[in-house]
Each structure stands twice: as C-alpha cells, then as structure tokens.
Amino acid sequence: MTDWVSWFRYQLKASADGFEWALTQIPAHLHDRLPPDPGYLGTWSPVRHIWHVTEYERCLVIPSMLQWLDIPSPLEEEWPDDDETWAKVTERGQAAIVSNFQRARQQQIEFLEKLTTVDWNAPRETLWGQKPLSMVVTKTFQHTYEHADTLLRMGLWWEVILEEEAEKSKDADS
C-alpha cells in the first residue's frame, strides 16, 4: 500500500464515526453513569471514554503528527488521564466533550493532507520510542476501536445486565 494519506483519512473518519455512533447506542440517561458489571463493561462512564480518547489524541497524537510536519507543538502539558482531572471536566458537559473529540479528530485528518510527501515508514523518536508515522496513526484508530468496542458492549448489554441484576435481587428477597 502506498497511498497512506487516503488510507488513514478513511480510517480516522470511519473510526470516529463508529465511536460516536457507539455512544448513541447507549441510552442518554446512562452516559454519565458508571456501568454495571465492571468486569465486562468497564469502570468508566460512556462520556469518560470520549474524553479519554480526545485527550489521548490532543496530548499525544497531534503533537506526534506535528513532528513529521516539523512544526513545534503548541501543547506542553502531560496527558491528564486521571480521576482528579476527569472530576473537573465533567462540568463541561457531554456536548462539549463530543465536540472536542470531533475537533481533535478533524485536525488530524487535515494534517494528513500535509503529509503526502512524508516517508510513512521512516522511524523517528516518538512518545512510543522509535516508530514510523504509520504506527502513530494506526495506533490512533486502534485506540478508537478499542474504546468503541466498550461503548458498543455498553449499548448492547447495560440494560440487560441491570434487568438480570434486578431479577436476581427479586429472587433473593423471595
């Protein structure tokens, strides 16, 4: 494969669309709640998954892509992926968090157009060690699919698990 830009434009767009669609499969009243069965559905609310992927891309991926464009990164902060930071973010609201994801993803897609002459297989020092740009962008859509999988499991099984737990509780009370 030689048309890296087209391939990754498609992957970044498709994985973003799937990620956002996965969120819509979860009833809106559950978006800020912790799921039941953390072993299967995870320990984060659905909207925290969106925030996590956004911050990963904003703090790690975008600065890495800028390296290949020889543009200094305007971002000099660490990836704030912890409960304390999340507690402060929830005040921004779900719509803002989803919008921030869309903005970060669109920025990466736009960067791709400037990377047509880059050797996508030549390694450079990155946050992941000596890696080519193809790995950096591949990791982006892999990470998106990973979290989309969790959101899809939530959409498919959250309410089923709640019903099963209620039934077990009812049976135990009998």
pLDDT the model gives residue 169: 86
Q: 43: which 2 tokens?
A: 């320990």
- Whole-number pLDDT of residue 75: 60
Across residues 39-60, what is the average pLDDT?
A: 96
Give the tens place of pLDDT for each residue, 83-93.
999 988 877 78
Q: Report which secondary-structure segment, H or E, holds 62.
A: helix 62-68
Mapped onto helix, strand or coil, the DSSP state of residue 115 is coil
Residue 34: DSSP 8-state: P
**Which residue ranges make up each domain of the chain?**
4-167
Which of 154, 144, 122, 134 has the alpha carbon at shortest distance from 46?
154
When pLDDT is averaged across residues 123-136 and rounded to a whole number, the result is 92
Q: Looking at the domain that runs over 4-167, which CATH code has it been given? A: 1.20.120.450
Higher pLDDT, residue 64 or 144? 144
Average pLDDT of the residues in 168-173: 85
pLDDT at 107 over 90: yes
80 falls in which pLDDT band (50, 70, 90)?
Answer: confident
b/e per residue 113-152 (b: at least 16 CB within 10 A): eebeebebeeeeebeeeebbbbbbbebbbebbbebbebbb
% of the chain beyond a pLDDT of 90: 76
**pLDDT bracket for residue 94 (50, 70, 90):** confident
